[in-house]
A and B are shown apart, each in its own frame.
Chain A
Amino acid sequence: MNRLRVLLLKEWRESMRNKMVLFGVIFLPVILVATSVYMITLGDGADDPVGQIILFNTSLMYFLLLPAIIPLAIAVYSIVGEKEQTTLEPLLATPISDLELFLGKALASVIPALVVNWISFGAFLGIIRLLVGSVPLQTLTAPWLASIFGLSPLLALFSVGITMIVSSRASDARAAYQFSSLAILPGIIPLVVYSSSKTLVDLRLIILEGGVLVVACVAVMYFAIRLFRREQILTRWK
């Protein structure tokens, strides 16, 4: 078994035993999907275009929050947890490479976030179809699909990168969690702006946000990778 896979499996095994992480991975999506379904069914058939815009923008915002919040929860406990348990040095004493360690920690957070987000989106559509009889066309438009399948991975990567940087400097999981929470802002700010201007999200916004996120991800990952060197971890991390 290659080391990256070994590390991923260990991370997930540990996460499954952590109540805080489980809350983020299981309960949060359930709550957000339920809220989205409630909002869409509430607005179904209503003759209020502005209200509809706000409802759909808010629902989409939930599916852009999940890929940012879930990796945050996993990555904070994965990195600060290693510090708290003083397991980093034994781990670094193995032949695992710095890159494998970095990728292991990053992917252990990004993969569940995307899987959970996409499952949540599927569940959202399925439940609405069950309740209303059809899937609202607004949720299958190019901006929605580009957001769910294009922006989500970028938001998850950005969130993981920020969390890794913050966690390397934090010795307390709660403090790291609070600072890293800033990583969810790129997912919500544009949608809040659109909703307040009463405009349905369009592809132009998603492409613009995607472009900004690609640049931000490259920058954040560059710094995160630099922090994830043995030497740095053992001598500079707090």
Chain B
Amino acid sequence: MITTQNLTRRFGALTAVDSLDLHVDKGEVFGFLGPNGAGKTTTVRMLAALIAPTSGEATIAGNELGIHNRSIRRRVGVLTETPGLYRRLSAQDNLLFFARLYQIAEPMAQVERYLKLFDLWERRAAPAGSYSKGMRQKLAIARALLHEPEILFLDEPTAGLDPEAAKTVRDLIETLRSDERTIFLCTHNLDEADRLCDRVALFKTRLITTGRPQELREQMYGRRTVVHLANYRAGIENQVDLPFVKHIDVVDERLVVSLDDPEAENPALVKRLVELGADVQFVTELRVSLEDMYLDLMEANDESS
């Protein structure tokens, strides 16, 4: 659905996006993660045919960037960093304006559908300026969806929202996932990316890495099982003589065991610990947060550059 090759954008001497190679499949929720000033918004602007790349190529929904820009803009929806609503106009007039710009066949019916879907119908006549932050964000997402785009670019959709409004927006994104829409999600919220995204890309001017969050964790840290013991006996870790155990750390009197295949190897591990006289309370998987992984990768990237 989105393919880029060596996509580069410079502003004078500053390179905002450097040789970006990406591939995003249809129906995928793709997280684009990076610090402030990493070039995420510039990337979205290029992919939405708003600004031209300095060099490189991209195909968006089957349309070549730079050649079929108008067609690209018809096929993508963009939620910008700020909702960007006409504050003096009502919610309905805001959506109607965009529905007509997209030349939707029955604009009023489509506006009504989305206002109802996003639970804004009752307040449709109120000026957008009188809406709460969460309602404004919902209205902005509704606007980005009005023309039923194949690809939806969401730039920090939950930034600045209270937890309740942020959850509403996340639930909406979950709903959109089931519509087979491709969602390109720029976010700082790594927990959100972990929960919503099929794949993520870590980006800071250049692409650092890309993959499924779980795969990235495994690549970086391997898989680890945490065994909670009722009474930790010093040195028990040295007695676990199982060939598949790669390494055991003791953290707060818990055993952190590195394994290749925990699903298959955990039962034997627990059995051996019981044989050694340990009282096993819990067995859990150590899940490195996407945040930790992100920080480690960014640090490694900064050191290498």
Contact = CB atoms under 8 A, between A and B. Distances in A.
B249 to A, nearest CB: 49
Interface in B82-116: 82-89, 93, 97-98, 100-103
A93 B98 CA distance: 10
A96 interface: yes
Given A10-B97, A94-B102, A234-B50, A89 B73 contact: no
B85 A87 contact: yes
B129 to A, nearest CB: 9
Interface in A1-32: 1, 3, 6-7, 10, 13-14, 17-18
A6 B51 contact: no
Contacts of B77: 93
Interface string A39-53: 000000000000000
Contacts of B73: 93-95
B84 A85 contact: yes
A124 to B, nearest CB: 32
Contacts of B50: 89, 92-93, 230, 234
Given A90-B143, A93-B48, A97-B70, A7 B101 contact: yes
A5 to B, nearest CB: 9
A95 B102 contact: yes
Contact of A13 (B80, B89, B140): B89
Contacts of B78: 89-90, 93
Nearest to A6: B100
A234 B84 contact: no
Contacts of B80: 86, 89-90, 93
A6 B100 CA distance: 7
B178 to A, nearest CB: 24
Contacts of A91: 101
B101 A14 contact: no
Contacts, number: 75
Contacts of A88: 84
Contacts of A93: 48, 50, 73, 76-78, 80
Interface string B149-176: 0000000000000000000000000000
Contacts of B100: 1, 3, 6
B52 interface: yes
B89 A95 contact: no
B45 interface: yes
Given A90-B140, A93-B48, A14 B98 contact: no
A231 interface: yes
Contact of B101 (A6, A87, A89, A231): A6
Contacts of A97: 70
Interface in B27-79: 45, 48, 50-52, 70, 73-74, 76-78
A32 to B, nearest CB: 27
Nearest to A5: B100
A230 B52 CA distance: 10
B98 A94 contact: yes
Nearest to A100: B101
Contact of B51 (A7, A94, A234): A234
A10 B51 contact: no
Contact of B98 (A1, A90, A234): A90
B52 A231 contact: yes
A18 to B, nearest CB: 7
Contacts of A86: 80, 82-84
A13 B127 CA distance: 12
Nearest to A10: B97
Contacts of A14: 86, 88-89
B250 to A, nearest CB: 53
Contacts of B89: 10, 13-14, 17
Nearest to B70: A95
A12 B144 CA distance: 23
Given A14-B89, A18-B88, A95-B74, A3 B101 contact: yes
Given A13-B89, A90-B98, 17 more contacts: A6-B97, A10-B86, A10-B97, A14-B89, A85-B85, A86-B80, A89-B78, A90-B143, A93-B48, A93-B50, A93-B73, A93-B76, A93-B78, A94-B101, A95-B70, A95-B102, A97-B70
24 contacts: A3-B100, A3-B103, A7-B101, A10-B97, A13-B93, A14-B86, A14-B88, A17-B127, A85-B85, A85-B86, A87-B86, A89-B50, A89-B80, A89-B84, A90-B140, A90-B143, A91-B101, A93-B76, A94-B73, A95-B102, A230-B50, A231-B51, A231-B52, A234-B50
Interface of B: 11, 45, 48, 50-52, 70, 73-74, 76-78, 80, 82-89, 93, 97-98, 100-103, 127, 140, 143-144
7 shortest interchain CB distances as A-B pairs: A17-B88, A93-B78, A6-B100, A86-B84, A86-B82, A94-B101, A87-B84
